[in-house]
Structure 1
């Protein structure tokens, strides 16, 4: 039986570590405050920097843990800075190259990662000259940390109170949201066209009618997982709005975080399924990508139904992802086709061992301006 420390070390190492971080007092304070509000045991916080770029809360041998991955906040820092600086196209392109290159490292595709490393280093971020926006970015990062930590602790809360779990009323709310979102889409399609597009995200067999579709969705384990993610988003939103008396800024921060996470998931899914090099941005979204968009839309409906004041402007980006879609469509057409990369093999890489090449690539993508 492995000791707890070794299990956690392996869990982090699997993510392809950049380096491990020391204790961060501000994050510990946020965790403590959220746990008091949720009335759950405070987890041990494990700080790290990995290319997986996500936070993760879990119980291990009945003790709670929270893996706090600072690489996610680094990426959000860059994304937020681009937004405040006016969404410069070259800045977005540089961020895309970073995310693609690091994802290829995770997939052990070093030859392709080397290409994106070179493209990344050829560009500079224009937002680094915008010193006046620095305090706004830092405030947004603080708000996003609170929301993301609150979301993860929501999972611990569900696990801690397993007997009660997610309230039945919340299930009914998500069901109603799904009905609203479905009505918005299905009016442009026949049922057969709609079912062909959507059934695979929840079930294995295509339903014959709408009643079969809804029964299949609601009885699907994938749907149960989606509801839990939505509920934890709701918990993160509540904890943030109760702590900060700034709803507009808070919602704007959440919208930016969710839009970034959808971008990250799009790149991750495309690389995993080897679709990135098709030169075509119109292929179907993966399940994780589709669920990320659903979570964002359901959170928007949550805000609208609760009639929170002064948030419409702050949540505008969550309703329209056209900016990201436009940049992504433009960039993906510039990526070389599969045949171009097949001309380069790992034998053409510098004569170093794989670990050394991987470390060099990781360092190339490291953004040194945020600690």
Structure 2
């Protein structure tokens, strides 16, 4: 089958589960809120992303796309996007140098707006492509990791344009981070290892929205769950939800499966690897491949068997223990599986599309910095999703509206 034809089938299949974004694309085609704007994007090159880009293109945008992870790129989808007139600079499995070359190629469009997934494109703009900065009037960021980097840039007065924190919407955190990451992480782990989780001990590093979703799915599959955290409030939350909370040093000898989802580096280090069980599985569900110290794992091992199963490498320790690393320490759900279900990305990318349109209209009045998505966009996405599912909800009566907006009425 021709790659482009295969990609079109994948995109069409994803679109079936993305009614909200499809409706937004149809509205954009009539309203053309992005007419004349050039957008450079660094996103996962998947069928769901293709539906988003289709909506933006329908709104009048010219788009250039690079991959935000070389192992998540679906080559057939990339080819289909090229046939749609979108500039795609991505190929599955490229090395680090090629990954960044593709980002530079995407930026060669001299964008008005940027879309990022992890802040690599924005970082490249501010370090190596500063010649383009004056032309960029705004951007959107999709991930927790990227927003951490952007807020630090803003704190240091290094960020040169306004960026909308799409990840921080209530719908994104609830639907995408919690339920999407929870399901897709185990989809990737199952495909890579075919392991049984019932009765096993799963260590979840991080109890943010993504970590909660992963812990809930592990518990639902019959696993005993240990949570590691650095935040006292989140650790207390995990404790009150019935999870055992330990430092990683204490969890390391007990775990059968380790899943990092923190947005930080070196969460699993040499001292933890040295005491893990024979056969322990290491998986990362955070954006970048820095949460598991893969370099330390390489240095500790006396032999490495690549590809003992698809996306699974076996590291032999000097004492005979074997540790299994999934997806080279990269995002396991997008490397060993297909990422979040399309129904999940319908919510996230709908918020992204509406945020881009809002930004296009407001960018001239915004100073450099990190901005929340306007609350009305978040509510609109939720309403549209409920309507697409045929679900109705209650509405306030006039008396209830008056009560909520008055301080004079008491008990």
- Between structures 1 and 2, the one with greater strand share: 2
**Superposition TM-score, scaled by structure 1 size:** 0.26
Higher relative contact order (CA 8 A, sep 6+): 1
